[in-house]
Each structure stands twice: as C-alpha cells, then as structure tokens.
C-alpha cells in the first residue's frame, strides 16, 4: 500500500505541474493547448537524451528539460499562436491549431527517438525506464523510498512558492495578472501584453517539461507517453477550474491520486481486471467536474473560505 | 460483378470513401450546427463494434451453428462468440457455409448491419447531447474527446464484446463475389458514401439545415424565431452519430477484422478535422475536395516513399504526422475558410433580396 501511495505521489506531482502549465496558457491566451502532450514527452526525452550523452544523475537535467520545453512553447507562440490571437480567432480555432502543432511535434519526437536509437548504442528510446537507476534513500516497513518522492514534492512546493512570489511581488507578475483580468485595460496602462503572452507560453512549456521530467522517473518512456497523459492533464486543469494555477496543481494531485490509489482500492474490491480501466478515472472525474462544478476546485475552496469568513 | 479496380485506385478510393462519410458527418455537426465534435471516434467505434458483434451472432443463431467450447457443444452467441479460440473458426464457418453460398442473404445482412450501426450510432450520439446542451466550445470538445477515449478503453478491455486486444473477425458479406470481392467492397463503400453525401446535401439545404446554421450563428436569434435549440442539437448529434457509425461499420467490414487498438482519436477524430478544415468548414462540396486531396496525397507519399526518402531527413512514417499537422496549422492561420469556402445561400435571387431590403419610400 505504501508503495502505491508513493508511486501515486510522484505521478500526481508530474500531472499537477503539467496541468498548471495548461492553465497558465489558457488563462492568458484562451488557448486550450493540445500540444501539451508533446511538451510533456519532450521533457521525458530531454532527460533521457542528456542522461545517455552526459551520464550522471537524471536529476541534473530537470532544469534543461524545463528550459528547452519552455523555449519550444515560446516558438509555438511566436509562429502560430500570436498570429491567430492578432486575427481574433475563436477558441475552437485556437485549440485546433495547437492540435496541428502537437501532430508536428509528435512526428519530430518520433524522428528524434529514431535518431537516438541509431546513434547511441544500447539505447531504447521507445521503451526506457529511469526508475531503475533511481537512488534509494530510506526504507520504511519493508518499502524502499526512492529519491524521486521527496524531489518531486519539493519541485511542486518550489513552483508554488516561486509562482506565488512572481505573480504577487514582482512588477511583471502583477502586469501579467492584469493582462489576464483585462487585456485592453492592461494595454492602455502600458503593459506589453505580447511579452506577457510570451512569458505565459514559456512558463506553460517549462512546467510541462518539468512535469514530463518528473513523470520520466516513474513511467516507461516512449514517444507515445504524452498521447496517453494528455487527458489526465486536461482533467487536472479543468478540475482545478482553469482560472487558477494553484487550483490546477490541486486538481492535478486529485486526478493523479484518485487514478492511482482509486484503482488500487477498486482492484482489491472487484478484482484485478479493473486495472485496465485506470485511464477511465480521470475521464469520469473531468466530465463530472465539468457538468456539475464548472467553476472548479479553486472556486469551491474560495467559496468555502468566504463562508468561513477568511479573507483571500 | 466482374468490375476489377486496379490496386492503386483501391487504396485511394478506400480512404476517400470511408473518410468522406466520417468527414461529412463531422462537418454536419461542426460546420452546420457549431458543435465542437472532438469525439468523432466514439460513434465510429460504435459502428465498428456493431458490425463486429451483431451480424455474426445473428447468423450463428439463425443457422444454429454449434461449436465445441470447453468440452461442451454450444450455440456460441454470447461471450463465447468473441473468444479468440472460437471466433476465427466460427467466422470462417459462417463465411464459407452461409454467406459464401447465399448472395441474397449476404446482401440483406450487409444492409441490416449498416442499419443497426446507424441505429446504435444515433442512440450513442443522442446520449452525448446531455453534455452538449450544458457545455460550450472547448469544454464540450474536451468532454466529447473523453467519451471517445473511454469507449476505446472499454472495447480494448471488455472481451465478451469484440474480443478486446485479440479482436474478432467480421463476417465477409462479399465472399460470393469471388476473386473480385475487394473491388466489390470498394464499390459498395462508394455507393454508401454517395448516398450519404446526397442525403446530407438535401438535409443541409432544407429548412432543418437552415435552422442549424441559424443556431450556429446565433443561438439567441434562432430561439427568438421559435427554433428549439436543445432539440436541434440533439437531432444533429443523432444524425452525425448514425452517419459516422456507418463509416466505422464499413471500415471493419472491408478489413474483415475488428481491432479496437486501431480506433484511436488521431485517425478517426483529428484526421477528419484536418480534411474538413482543408475543404472548408461548413461547405458541403469542400468535403469532397478535402478528403480527395488527402486520399491522393497520402497514396502519393507512400507510393513514392523510395524516391522521396533520400532527399528528406525524416522517415515517411513520421512525415505523415508532420504534414497533417502542418495542414491544420497553415489552414487555421492563413485560410480558415478552407479551399472551397461556405457560400451564403439565399432562398430568393440576390436582386430580389436586395430589393426587399431597401426601405420602402
């Protein structure tokens, strides 16, 4: 059971980070970013590729995964998204365009995997496991705890503190929030909204890359991994309410934990055949959340706090 | 039927016929009614499941075929039908003993299968109208996408239905044709595609089609004119679902086997979106152009693979994704109206409309 919880925590941290990325991009540019699937996979592959080339610990390369994926996000903004926003494209067109971007990136990632396979002997880019080279740090009740557990939790906490400080204490962060609230007014006040959108895409991409890097420490890596994870990511973001980065971190944890622990509990009850239906759990939670709590967890928590008389 | 279609045309016509049906059904929902259908694969898969699960069982019951299963002699119409140890022998028996020698029954069963697929597709399509009445735009799109994924997971794991990952074989309704049966299948697919195309043409140019467009352009205005928007959305999802299910059924009838793994959202949702956007969302003729362009293009890149490969640093397999992605991105950026844009239709001649619009002095 402890092992299930530990695995669930790492996976949830990965989902939460990437889901927060979806939310940042959605809040600022109204774009539901399908390319997040590929962004997450890019995080996986940066860690794997750098590990193959430079060796050492996979944790050294987390920063590079974040920066590289962030730059991919910036590239997507500059080439596709900015043009469409300027033309006043509607939400479905914006979403569709990121789907096209996702297909392009998916093709490129597969090609990248082929190149790794052909140039680095002994690599298996279509089926790699990094969790086997993780460091054991402690043993509790017969279960080994690996470094990935505290590290992934620490990353989430650092991101929360970092983003909170950035959005509330720095001038640019406040400008960013202004733009999200009211872009026209922000522009009148002299805020460079394009810079804000660009930063949002960088942050969104970087969070996806970081989420992918965290997931790489537990999941089997392949170019398909993003395609499998995109629905839990959207689910995390939507359950979080789509208008709050911290809500989506919470939503990501809810999705990840209920997917991993929920299926474990269910399999004890009804039998192991249910394990195959694991990906249905985030789908169900997401659809229920959309139909019955469309404002998401963030708004629910705020309402609860307001009722208790706690000021935001 | 002694018509033989050359092999290169079979490839092109197969892609064209199947995807024309799916894309027309998608355009019906997206282009005319404005529902962001990101779960097209859902009803396509319903059609495929119906074609794989129902006609074989019906024929087994009708002919009273028995097989030995775990030491017992049974009529396999339940979960045993989809058992991979039973299924391949059973379908072979159905094909050679019943369908192969009985052209009349084959044709009737083929049509019955398509009708059943359409009915189940319509039911599932109608069920998706529950979220479609409550959610808007991207939220609805994501929800529909989730439904499609969920059904694929069920089909992949619940083996009494269509054999899960082992898959099942689909009865061959064209065995009686003999050696030219592939051509016969293609002709059947094209006939169905043509019928659907013409049918939808009449629908979208009828008062019903005009109400759909009114709803797409402004729900409030449509309601002011007395259109029942929830009912219109429900009908749209029913019709779109039924048509897509026919497409899915035809596909598994053509391939002769049902494998839930092939029903991914990429091929059956996102590709049709790309063709629709290329042809022109909301333009019925555009669908022909978009799908034909793609069918030809796909054939050409695979046919000239050997010639192309030395010149480009990317293997053809991945190039296909990149090119489809590029089509989607470039069309949405530079030609959102598509190759053949939707034309506004007036019921009276243009001059007469302008005359009526003038303020009477």
A contact set with B (CB within 8 A): 32, 80, 83-84, 89-93, 95-97, 99-108, 110-111, 114, 227, 231, 234-235, 238, 273, 276-277, 279-280, 283-284, 286-287, 290-291, 294
Asked if the Cβ–Cβ distance from B146 to A283 is below 8 Å, we say yes
How many CA atoms, within 13 angstroms, populate the side-chain half-sphere of residue A26?
A: 27
**Is residue B314 less than 8 Å (CB to CB) from chain A?**
yes
CB contact (8 A) between residue B138 and residue A110: no
- Å between B4 CA and nearest CA of chain A: 36
- Report pLDDT for B361: 54
Chain A interface includes B333 (CB < 8 A): yes
Low-confidence ranges of chain B (pLDDT < 70): 1-2, 71, 75-80, 163, 360-361
What pLDDT shows up at residue B196? 94
- Is B154's Cβ below 8 Å from some Cβ in A? yes
Which of B142, B154, B329 comes nearest A97 by C-beta? B329
Q: Which residues of A touch B270 (CB under 8 A)?
A: 99, 103
Cα–Cα distance between A9 and A7 in angstroms, integer? 5
* Dist CA B181 CA B224 (whole Å): 54
From first to last of its 312 residues, chain A has per-residue pLDDT tens of: 788 888 889 999 999 999 999 999 998 888 888 899 899 999 999 999 998 888 888 888 999 999 999 999 999 999 998 999 888 888 888 888 999 999 999 999 999 998 888 888 888 888 888 888 878 888 887 788 888 888 899 999 999 999 889 988 888 888 888 888 888 888 898 888 888 999 999 999 999 999 999 998 888 888 888 888 888 898 888 888 777 888 888 889 988 988 888 888 888 888 777 777 888 888 888 888 887 876 666 667 667 777 776 544
**Nearest-10 Cα torsion for A167, A169, A173, A178:** 90
Residues B260-280: tens digit of each pLDDT: 888 888 889 988 988 898 888
Phi, psi of A87 (to 5 degrees): -85, 0
Q: What is the pLDDT of residue A103?
A: 92
What lies within 8 Å, CB to CB, of A9 at 6+ separation is A149, A152, A153, A256, A257
**Tokens 């999802």 map to which residue?**
B237
pLDDT at A311: 47
Name the nearest CA neighbour of A91 among A242, A281, A208: A242
Alpha-carbon gap, residue B163 to B156, rounded angstroms: 8
- Give the pLDDT score at A312: 43
pLDDT the model gives residue A296 = 65
- Which among A20, A74, A72, A37 has a CA at the least distance from the CA of A197? A74
∠A264-A62-A261 over CA atoms, to 5°?
10
Chain A residue at shortest CA distance from B327: A100
Pick the closest to residue A29 from A85, A76, A95 (CA basis): A85
* Per-residue tokens: B304: 């000239």
- Structure tokens belonging to residue B322: 């990149």
Q: Buried b vs exposed e over B321-331: b needs ≥16 C-beta within 10 Å? A: bbbbbbbbbeb
The tens digit of pLDDT for each residue in B2-38 reads 677 788 888 889 889 999 999 999 999 988 888 888 8
Q: Does domain A2-307 have CATH number 2.50.20?
A: no
Predicted ipTM of the assembly: 0.84
Residues 113-132 of B with CB under 8 A from A: 130-131
Query: Which ranges of chain B does DSSP label H, i.e. alpha helix?
Result: 7-27, 40-63, 84-93, 103-127, 129-134, 137-157, 159-162, 181-204, 207-217, 219-224, 229-255, 265, 271-279, 284-303, 305-308, 316-334, 350-357
Which are the contacts of B311, defined by CB distance < 8 A and separation ≥ 6? none
pLDDT at res. B88: 75
Chains A & B: contacts with CB separation below 8 Å: 123
A78 CB-contact burial (10 Å; exposed 0-12 / middle 13-18 / buried 19+): middle
Q: How far is A55 from chain B (nearest CA, A)?
A: 27
Closest residue in B to A231 (Cα–Cα): B146
- How far, in Å, are A81, A171, B166, B258, B313 from residue B172 at the CA level? 48, 69, 19, 12, 42
Among candidates B314, B317, B333 on the partner chain, residue whose Cβ is nearest the Cβ of A97: B333
Q: How far apart are the C-alpha atoms of A264 and A241, rounded to whole Å?
A: 27
């Amino acid at each position: 059971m402890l092992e299930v919880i530990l695995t669930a925590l790492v996976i949830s941290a990965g989902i939460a980070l990437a889901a927060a990325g979806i939310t940042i991009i959605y809040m600022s540019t109204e774009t539901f970013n399908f390319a997040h699937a590929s962004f997450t996979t890019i995080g996986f592959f940066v860690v794997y590729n750098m590990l193959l080339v430079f060796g050492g610990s996979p944790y050294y390369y987390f920063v590079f995964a974040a920066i590289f994926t962030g730059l991919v996000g910036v590239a997507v903004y500059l080439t596709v998204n900015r043009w469409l926003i300027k033309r006043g494209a509607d939400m479905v067109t914006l979403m569709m365009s990121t789907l096209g971007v996702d297909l392009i990136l998916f093709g490129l990632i597969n090609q990248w995997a082929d190149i790794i396979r052909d140039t680095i002997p002994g690599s298996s880019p279509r089926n790699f496991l990094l969790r086997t080279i993780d460091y054991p740090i402690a043993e509790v009740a017969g279960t080994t705890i690996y470094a990935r557990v505290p590290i992934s939790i620490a990353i989430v906490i650092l991101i929360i503190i970092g983003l909170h400080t950035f959005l509330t204490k720095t001038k640019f962060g406040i400008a960013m929030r202004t733009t999200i609230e009211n872009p026209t007014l922000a522009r009148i006040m002299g805020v460079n909204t394009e810079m804000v959108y660009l930063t949002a895409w960088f942050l969104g991409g970087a969070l996806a890359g970081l989420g992918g890097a965290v997931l790489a420490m537990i999941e089997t890596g392949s170019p398909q991994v993003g395609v499998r994870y995109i629905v839990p990511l959207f689910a995390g973001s939507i359950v979080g309410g789509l208008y709050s980065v911290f809500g989506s971190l919470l939503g990501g944890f809810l999705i990840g934990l209920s997917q991993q622990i929920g299926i474990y509990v269910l399999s004890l009850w009804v039998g192991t055949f249910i394990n195959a239906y694991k990906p249905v759990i985030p789908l169900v939670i997401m659809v229920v959340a959309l139909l019955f709590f469309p404002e998401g967890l963030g708004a629910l928590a705020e309402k609860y706090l307001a009722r208790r008389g706690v000021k935001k | 039927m002694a018509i033989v279609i050359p092999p290169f045309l079979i490839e092109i016509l197969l892609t064209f016929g199947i995807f024309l049906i799916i894309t027309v059904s998608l355009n019906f929902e997206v282009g005319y009614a404005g529902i962001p259908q990101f779960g097209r694969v859902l009803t396509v898969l319903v059609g495929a499941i119906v074609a794989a699960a129902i006609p074989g069982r019906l024929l087994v019951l009708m002919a009273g075929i028995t097989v030995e299963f775990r030491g017992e002699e049974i009529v396999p119409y339940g979960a045993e039908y989809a058992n991979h140890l039973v299924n391949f022998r059973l379908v072979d028996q159905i094909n050679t003993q019943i369908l192969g020698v009985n052209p009349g029954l084959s044709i009737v069963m083929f049509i019955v299968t398509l009708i059943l697929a359409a009915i189940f597709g319509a039911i599932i399509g109608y069920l998706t109208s529950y979220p479609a009445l409550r959610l808007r735009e991207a939220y609805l799109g994501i929800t529909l996408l989730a439904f499609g994924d969920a059904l694929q997971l069920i089909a992949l794991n619940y083996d009494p239905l269509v054999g899960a990952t082992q898959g099942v074989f689909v009865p061959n309704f064209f065995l009686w044709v003999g050696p030219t049966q592939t051509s016969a299948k293609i002709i059947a697919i094209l006939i169905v595609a043509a019928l659907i195309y013409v049918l939808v043409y009449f629908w979208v140019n009828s008062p019903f089609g005009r109400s759909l467009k009114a709803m797409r352009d402004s729900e409030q205005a449509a309601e002011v004119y007395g259109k029942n928007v929830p009912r219109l959305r429900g009908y749209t999802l029913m019709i779109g679902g039924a048509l897509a299910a026919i497409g899915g059924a035809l596909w598994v009838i053509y391939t002769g086997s049902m494998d839930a793994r092939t029903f991914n959202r990429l091929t059956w949702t996102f590709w049709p979106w790309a063709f629709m956007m290329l042809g022109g969302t909301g333009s019925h003729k555009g669908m022909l152009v978009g799908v034909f362009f793609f069918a030809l293009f796909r054939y050409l890149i695979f046919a000239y693979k050997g010639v192309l490969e030395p010149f480009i640093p990317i293997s053809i397999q991945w190039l296909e994704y990149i090119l489809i992605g590029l089509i989607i991105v470039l069309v949405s950026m530079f030609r959102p109206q598509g190759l053949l844009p939707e034309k506004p239709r007036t019921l009276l001649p243009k001059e007469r409309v302008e005359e009526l619009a003038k303020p009477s002095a």
